[in-house]
């Protein structure tokens, strides 16, 4: 049995757990966090915070053969990036650890012994070859493959004889009829008698590692978990878990199963889709709160306001407004266009705060330097970046879009270009005209520039070609007037002055 001091600690924590909500996110480090996993973690976190409870992270690494190196660390990084705070877990403290299943094997062994003692589990010596024959025979006769519970009927003498020969074996749990319906927090009453469709499940493998179902139940009980919120694909296994709780004589937590996340066309999200990993969204440049709002927009949990303007809610606003009763029980469709809208909203929101605005400017500076590492002549002044951000917030989805080759003129100053197609007098008048324009919008700019070209008897297309070269050094891209609008009046004048011939500069200085 567990040591006395640890048992007392667990009992004290369990007594406290009945007065405090305790939820957990328990991923397997066999891959990276994706939208479905983020949704599960997020809803657990929102539920706990709404009720003043605790959010635990537990790493379920019992499937040692499928572990991906570094997956646990990346998973934690993605959760924190999304704004999900971990109260207990590996590296975050907590009195009921360790929170990594591979470090809890002694606990599982003692729990298995308890089931063997009370007769609800037994040793199974069936070889892999026999199990494979059972599977093939079931498929041949169009039956669902299931274990035939043969070893459940071994006598104690037969078990002792096989153990004496060191025959490899696993431990199986005896399934019984379960007539009571599951009271699902989201789906209501759910009836499923697992013993009708399955044979006795393995709870401890021959390598002495527990299976998911067994470790899950033991850990949830010993960690004082009060509510289990997980994907609906686990709903069919919950009866099995309830039978395990009954075998131990433990009070089960309350269960709620989250509906499937599906694509806009109704097809199921798949981990094999390269574009649903959280790392993918981060690398593309989506902001965390935009992604979090995107996920909850599909799954419900909030009061629906008809014709309400799209909002970007903070994590605090989300958990204050969250209600488990409002979570949808039908598949949750994701709309990628909504994510783009939310990301634009987050850019606008970040521009409105001094601290977040400064961070945004630094992020743009970093992105541009990465995009043009060989360019020493970059225009990265804070005022210029803010002008660009205010322009782009209504047009672009991602900050990374600002690195597009068509927008390189924003950052890369033309070098060694001199305007030769206009006289010194024309250039001076043009600078005065641009400086006097109050409404620095492309439509107004086009009207003024055309009028100027007619008045000065200059071919308009040639003049615009000259201005494009002076402003960007590019032969193509946005229209010249739009380019001027994006750059703003100050940068436009600055670049035109830098492209003036020496005699024009002398003239302009003496006017």
Q: What is the pLDDT of residue 306?
A: 59
Q: How confident is the model at residue 64 (pLDDT cuts 50, 70, 90)?
A: confident
pLDDT at 1 over 50: no
Lowest mean pLDDT: which of 2-6, 27-31, 502-506? 2-6
Whole-number Å distance between alpha carbons of 432 and 400: 35
Asked if 424 and 503 touch (Cβ cutoff 8 Å), the reply is: yes
Q: Report, as residue numbers or ranges, the catalytic residues.
A: 271
Structure tokens at 299: 């799954």
pLDDT at 273 over 70: no
Query: Which of 2-6, 9-13, 170-174, 295-299 has maximum average pLDDT?
Result: 170-174
Does the pTM surpass 0.95? The reply is: no
From the options 1.20.90.10, 3.20.20.150, 1.10.20.140, 1.10.10.350, give the CATH code of 424-499: 1.10.10.350
Question: Nearest-CA neighbor of 292 among 58, 32, 85?
Answer: 85
Count CB neighbours of 219 within 10 A: 23
pLDDT band at 244, cuts 50/70/90? very high
Domain spanning 103-258: CATH 3.40.50.620: yes
C-alpha 491/C-alpha 378 separation (Å) is 12
Whether the CB-CB separation of 328 and 299 falls below 8 Å is answered with yes
Superfamily of domain 18-92+259-340: HUPs (3.40.50.620)
- 75-134 per-position pLDDT tens digit: 999 999 999 999 999 999 999 999 999 999 999 999 999 999 999 999 999 999 999 999
């Amino acid at each position: 049995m567990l040591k006395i001091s640890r048992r007392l600690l667990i009992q004290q924590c369990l007594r406290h757990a009945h007065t405090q909500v305790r939820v957990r996110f328990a991923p397997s480090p066999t891959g990276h966090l994706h939208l479905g996993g983020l949704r599960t973690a997020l809803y657990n976190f929102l539920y706990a915070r709404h009720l003043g409870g605790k959010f635990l992270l537990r790493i379920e690494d019992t499937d040692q053969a499928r572990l991906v190196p570094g997956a646990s660390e990346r998973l934690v990084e993605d959760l924190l990036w999304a704004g999900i705070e971990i109260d207990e877990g590996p590296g975050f403290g907590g009195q009921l650890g360790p929170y990594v299943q591979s470090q809890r094997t002694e606990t599982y062994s003692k729990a298995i012994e308890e089931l063997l003692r009370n007769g609800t589990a037994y040793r199974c010596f069936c070889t892999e070859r026999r199990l494979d024959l059972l599977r093939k025979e079931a498929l041949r006769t169009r039956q669902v493959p299931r274990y035939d519970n043969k070893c459940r009927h071994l006598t104690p003498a037969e078990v002792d004889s096989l153990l004496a020969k060191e025959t490899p074996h696993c431990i199986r749990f005896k399934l019984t009829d379960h007539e009571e319906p599951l009271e699902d927090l989201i789906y209501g009453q759910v009836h499923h008698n697992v013993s009708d469709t399955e044979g006795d499940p393995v709870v401890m493998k021959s390598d002495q590692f527990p299976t998911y179902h067994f470790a899950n139940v033991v850990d949830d009980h010993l960690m004082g978990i009060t509510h289990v919120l997980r994907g609906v694909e686990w709903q069919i296994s919950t009866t099995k878990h309830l039978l395990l709780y009954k075998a131990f004589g433990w009070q089960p937590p309350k269960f709620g199963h989250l509906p499937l996340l599906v694509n806009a066309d109704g097809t199921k999200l798949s981990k094999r889709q390269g574009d649903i990993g959280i790392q993918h969204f981060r690398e593309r440049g989506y902001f965390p709160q935009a992604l979090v709002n995107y996920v909850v927009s599909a799954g419900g949990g909030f009061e629906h306001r008809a014709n309400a303007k799209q909002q970007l809610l903070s994590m605090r606003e989300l958990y204050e407004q969250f209600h488990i009763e409002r979570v949808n029980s039908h598949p949750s469709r994701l709309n990628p266009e909504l994510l783009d809208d939310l990301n634009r909203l987050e850019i606008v929101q970040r521009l409105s705060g001094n601290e977040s605005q400064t961070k945004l400017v630094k992020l743009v500076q970093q992105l541009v330097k990465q995009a043009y590492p060989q360019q020493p002549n970059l225009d990265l002044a804070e005022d210029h970046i803010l002008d660009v951000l205010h322009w782009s917030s209504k047009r672009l989805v991602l900050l990374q879009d600002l690195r597009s080759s068509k927008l390189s003129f924003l950052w890369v100053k033309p070098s060694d270009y001199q305007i030769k197609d206009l006289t010194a007098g024309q250039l001076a008048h043009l600078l005065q005209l641009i400086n006097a324009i109050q409404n620095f919008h492309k439509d107004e700019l086009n009207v003024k520039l055309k009028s100027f070209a007619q008045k000065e008897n200059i071919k308009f297309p040639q003049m615009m070609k000259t201005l494009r070269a002076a402003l960007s050094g590019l032969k193509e891209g946005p229209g010249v007037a739009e380019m001027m609008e994006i750059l703003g009046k100050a940068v436009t004048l600055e670049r035109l002055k830098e492209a003036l011939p020496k005699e024009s500069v002398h003239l302009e200085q003496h006017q």
